[in-house]
Amino acid sequence: MKQFFISTFIVLLALNIADAQEYKKQLKAANKTLAKYYLDPVANKANLDEAIASINTIFSADDAKADPEAWITKGQIFNEIAKAEMNKKVISDQLKQEFTLPTPQAGLNALESFEKAMSMAVKKSQTKDALAGIRESEDHLNNIGITYFQIQDYANSYLNFKASLKSHDILKTNKEASRLDDAMVKNDQVFYTAYAGYNSEYKNETLPLFESLYAGGKAQPFVYEALFNLAADKKDITKAMEYLAAGRAANPDDNGLLFAEINFYLKEGKLDILTDKLKAAIAKEPDNVSVYTTLGNVYDQLNQQERTAGNIAKADEYFNLAFDYFKQSLEKDPKNFDATYSQGALYYNKAASMTAKLNELSNDYSSAGTKKYNEIKAEMDGYFKQALPYFISAEQLDPKDQNTMIALKEIYARSGELNKSTEYKNKLEALGGN
């Protein structure tokens, strides 16, 4: 019986060794398949797909998952993939040919594999090999991050740059050299990581990165702008203004901070404060058409607020200021749709604001009431008539703008030109509007 148990144990041990040998053979086979891919990453993409599918199958087995050597091999494979694809990218750029990285996660997969290997290493040599792999993947992650940054794929850029910073931290913890040992290089890496994240869905993750740049001193103007916006988004207005003041003091001529503040006041609806900010922006960028248009829109909103409150004299003052800034915008860019449409909208909304009073008077059949009704209606119709040429011009600039068509349809209906009104009704329906 004892002999039987010994024999059974030997058989099971042999089977386990055989299984271990099998997944190692499969890893070698995957490497060979990848070797064909490396020869021509474009023509031999099927070899890449086959190799990665094989690797995924191998690591579905518990034995492979528990083997640091296997994880090191997996990391090395993905490092080689990243290297081959980046080399192909460089050559393609030189030849002015398009090339999209077939394996965008290669650097990330490599780092993850080496981290796994380190977490279960039982030999110094395994830790050493994993760290060597991380040092290599650090370069690949940076290059892949740059590649995505250049095409403004900021999400993928951020993930790779962030992993590069993580690689640096691992290497430093283990007293190994890193490409980010140079303080200036690391500072740049942190900045571009933060910038990429800020301009992607990972925006809210970037606060610690920007804070580290701010704490380091001599931060780029965008650091202050981002910190201002992040704090404002969290309704920490005191902190936001602290960052803004620091940014203005450090970079008095930077327009990014000014426009960040303008956008903040726009969102907050603090229009009276905003007008001064926009005038300052015009003084700094006198050829920036959008600033004139924005200031015109701000004055228009103030005009509508005062008109609704019954302060007609003040409303007319804001109306004239709005019209003047739209006019200045068109002097710089005669084909600016927003300014053209907005001039028409000024008159249209002024006319529309009179309909409530007109409806009120429609029930007054006295001679005085009828006279007042006719006076207001004539004034209202006059404003609609003044709006018409601006909307016609706006339609010529953007024939598919539905708001323009709605305005034209209503104006023609009010003036009794029903054929023209129906024409715009049909145009709207063709575009899916009402």
Question: Is 22 contained in some domain?
Answer: yes
Amino acid making up residue 101: L
pLDDT of residue 2 exceeding 60, the answer is no
Sorted by sequence, the CB contacts under 8 Å of residue 336 that are 6+ apart come out as: 289, 293, 329, 330
* Distinct helix (H) and strand (E) counts, the chain: 20, 0
| 324-343 tens-digit pLDDT | 999 999 999 999 999 999 99
Q: Which two tokens stand for residue 410?
A: 């209503």
Minimum mean pLDDT range among 21-35, 150-164, 204-218: 21-35
Report the percent of the chain where pLDDT is more than 90. 58
Sorted by sequence, the CB contacts under 8 Å of residue 242 that are 6+ apart come out as: none
CA–CA separation, 378 and 62 (whole Å): 85
CA–CA separation, 410 and 384 (whole Å): 9
The answer to whether 142 and 164 have CB atoms below 8 angstroms apart is yes
pLDDT of residue 193 exceeding 80, the answer is yes
Stretch 302-306: mean pLDDT, rounded? Answer: 87
Confidence of residue 268 (pLDDT cuts 50, 70, 90): confident
Minimum mean pLDDT range among 36-45, 95-104, 290-299: 36-45
Minimum mean pLDDT range among 27-36, 229-238, 290-299: 27-36
Q: Which pLDDT does position 18 carry in this prediction? A: 38
CA–CA separation, 362 and 151 (whole Å): 61
Q: How many domains does the chain have?
A: 1
Question: Is 173 contained in some domain?
Answer: yes
Stretch 279-290: mean pLDDT, rounded? Answer: 91
Question: Is 212 contained in some domain?
Answer: no
- Higher-pLDDT residue of 265, 33: 265
**Burial of 287 by CB count in 10 Å (0-12 exposed, 13-18 middle, 19+ buried)?**
exposed
Question: Is 374 contained in some domain?
Answer: no
CA–CA separation, 413 and 398 (whole Å): 22
The answer to whether 285 and 259 have CB atoms below 8 angstroms apart is no
Question: Is 429 contained in some domain?
Answer: no
Q: Which pLDDT does position 173 carry in this prediction? A: 97
Confidence of residue 36 (pLDDT cuts 50, 70, 90): confident
pLDDT of residue 434 exceeding 70, the answer is no
Q: Which two tokens stand for residue 87?
A: 């080399």
416 CB-side CA count, 13 A: 1
Residue with tokens 């393609």: 92
**Burial of 406 by CB count in 10 Å (0-12 exposed, 13-18 middle, 19+ buried)?**
middle
Question: Is 73 contained in some domain?
Answer: yes
CA–CA separation, 257 and 246 (whole Å): 10
Q: Which pLDDT does position 419 carry in this prediction? A: 94
Considering the entire predicted model, what is its pTM?
Answer: 0.66
Domain that holds residue 174: 1-182
Question: Is 238 contained in some domain?
Answer: no
Question: Is 392 contained in some domain?
Answer: no
Q: Which pLDDT does position 21 carry in this prediction? A: 59
| 16-29 tens-digit pLDDT | 433 555 777 777 77
